[in-house]
């Protein structure tokens, strides 16, 4: 395998910048770019070195060399890290010299990919490395660390191994009927049903992980000129959306995020819906159904200075599919006593986008309605979208096995769906995975990791 190298720290100005080299020639290449006097290099021992360009003999920098001998390294190969001064131009120059000595520039995620290939990480743990790097907030960091510790992969293997044992007995009994007994149908069915229940529980717990990774999706709905864009600006504390007295100012949706109590709240300001909409404005309205379908919270914004209209009520019907609906009475500075009783809205929050009154209370209501109801224990087996799809497909295959057993299908027929379940669970941990899947996963990583 070739030796690869990359800058492992963000480019910019900092105290330290790291160049990572991994592969069979890591030590030989490192020796080429340091002064000849630095020969005492031992695993896991920091050595002060002077880095030179072997061609011009120009001194490039002084720093620390660390050597991790394979397989006791991150990648499972020989790894050398040069800890230098954090100047992007200096690091790029040293990297150029390292590559000139025979290393290849690492692709995004190639160090972690080699760690997976060499058995240092399974695929769920490898994916958690990228999640940890991109984690926003302590909840997301905690989720990634659960994955990095192998929580999900351990549960998947606890389901996959018994399924493999059942399949092995089925295939052995088919190939050697005189020597191996067939499976005990009652026992096998009970085991598969129990394992299917465990997979169903993994699926059930996914909402919390999604909220951590993607944030809470809040769609702001209301007829034109009730103050949706002003509300969005008040939530953000800045002028993000154009505000005007002219109806239909928002022609498309505006998607913005903010952090509240270490969580990400994603707000979508939609085009105001009115019967006279046409052209570009109508195109914006047409997109709203898709936004509503994936929303966690719908904010139904009305103008507290006027009675609720039939247009308001039509919007309430439109957001009926959203689990959490909050009534937001805007312009409360003009009518603080506004408080209608509306079916489908259990609670009203009076706000003034102009003065900021009630804005913090609105954020707190969203948090209490969505986040506070979740349990930290749900992090144990949180999946990303790829992993979740595999778990769902595996459980669907097990449902087919159970249905086949109830219908009296032969063992060789049952083994088809059983193999599918085992295959899909193997895709989660990486025991069975294609190069295309690996390319997609590791393309999410930064270069140097």
For 353-411, what is each residue's pLDDT tens digit? 989 999 999 999 999 988 887 765 556 777 888 889 999 999 999 999 999 999 989 98
Architecture of the domain defined by 134-205+381-432: Up-down Bundle (1.20)
pLDDT at 137 over 70: no
For the domain made up of 4-106, the CATH class stated in words is: alpha beta
The highest-confidence range among 104-118, 138-152, 202-216, by mean pLDDT, is 104-118
233 with 239: CB under 8 angstroms? yes
Bigger pLDDT: 341 vs 324: 324
Contacts of 128 (CB under 8 A, 6+ apart): 144, 145, 146, 147, 148
Average pLDDT, the chain: 85
Q: pLDDT-derived band of residue 310, with 50, 70 and 90 as boundaries?
A: confident
| CATH code that applies to domain 212-370 | 3.40.50.300
Bigger pLDDT: 345 vs 242: 345
Out of 60-64, 77-81, 106-110, 340-344, pick the least confident. 340-344
| Residue (of 2, 4, 94) closest to 49 by Cα position | 94
- The pTM score is 0.70
Out of 23-37, 72-86, 393-407, pick the least confident. 23-37
- In the chain, pLDDT over 90 holds for what percent of residues? 46
Domain ranges of the chain: 4-106, 134-205+381-432, 212-370
Out of 19-23, 69-73, 331-335, pick the least confident. 331-335
| Residue (of 45, 51, 41) closest to 19 by Cα position | 51
Bigger pLDDT: 449 vs 291: 291
């Amino acid at each position: 395998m070739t030796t690869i190298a990359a800058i492992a720290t963000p480019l910019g100005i900092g105290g330290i910048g790291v160049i990572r080299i991994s592969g069979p020639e890591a030590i030989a290449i490192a020796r080429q770019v340091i002064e000849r006097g630095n020969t005492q290099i031992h695993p896991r021992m920091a050595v002060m070195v002077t880095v030179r360009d072997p061609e011009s003999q120009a001194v490039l920098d002084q720093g620390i060399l660390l050597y991790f001998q394979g397989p006791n390294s991150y990648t499972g190969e020989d790894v050398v890290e040069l800890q230098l001064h954090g100047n992007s131009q200096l690091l790029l120059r040293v990297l150029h010299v390292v590559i000139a000595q025979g290393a290849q520039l690492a692709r995004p995620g190639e160090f972690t990919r080699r760690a997976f290939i060499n058995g240092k990480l399974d695929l769920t743990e490898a994916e958690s490395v990228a999640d940890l790097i991109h984690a926003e907030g302590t909840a997301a960091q905690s989720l990634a660390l659960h994955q990095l510790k192998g929580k999900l992969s351990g549960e998947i293997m606890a389901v996959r191994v018994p399924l493999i044992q059942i399949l092995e007995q089925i295939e052995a009994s088919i190939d050697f009927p005189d020597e191996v007994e067939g499976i005990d149908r009652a026992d096998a069915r009970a085991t598969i049903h129990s394992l299917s229940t465990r997979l169903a529980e993994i699926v059930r717990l996914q909402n919390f992980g999604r909220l951590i990774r993607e944030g809470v999706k809040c769609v702001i709905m209301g007829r034109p000129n009730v103050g949706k864009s002003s509300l969005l600006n008040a939530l953000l504390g800045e002028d993000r959306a154009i505000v005007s007295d002219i109806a239909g100012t928002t022609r498309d949706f505006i998607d913005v995020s903010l952090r509240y109590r270490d969580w990400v709240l994603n707000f979508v300001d939609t085009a105001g819906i009115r019967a006279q909409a046409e052209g570009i404005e109508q195109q914006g309205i047409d997109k709203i159904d898709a936004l509503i379908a994936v929303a966690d919270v719908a904010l139904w914004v009305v103008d507290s200075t006027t009675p609720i209209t039939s247009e308001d009520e039509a919007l309430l019907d439109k957001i009926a599919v959203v689990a959490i609906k909050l009534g937001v009475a805007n312009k409360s500075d003009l009518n603080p006593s506004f408080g209608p009783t509306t079916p489908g809205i259990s609670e009203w929050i009076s706000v003034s986008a102009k003065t900021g009154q009630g804005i913090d209370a609105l954020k707190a209501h969203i948090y209490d309605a969505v986040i506070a109801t979740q349990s930290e224990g749900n992090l144990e087996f949180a999946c990303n979208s790829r992993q979740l799809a595999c778990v769902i497909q595996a459980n669907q295959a097990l449902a087919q096995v159970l249905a086949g057993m109830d219908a009296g299908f032969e063992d060789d027929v049952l083994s088809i769906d059983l193999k599918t379940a085992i295959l899909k669970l193997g895709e989660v941990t990486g025991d069975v995975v294609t190069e295309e899947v690996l390319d997609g996963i590791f393309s999410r990583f930064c270069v140097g990791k």
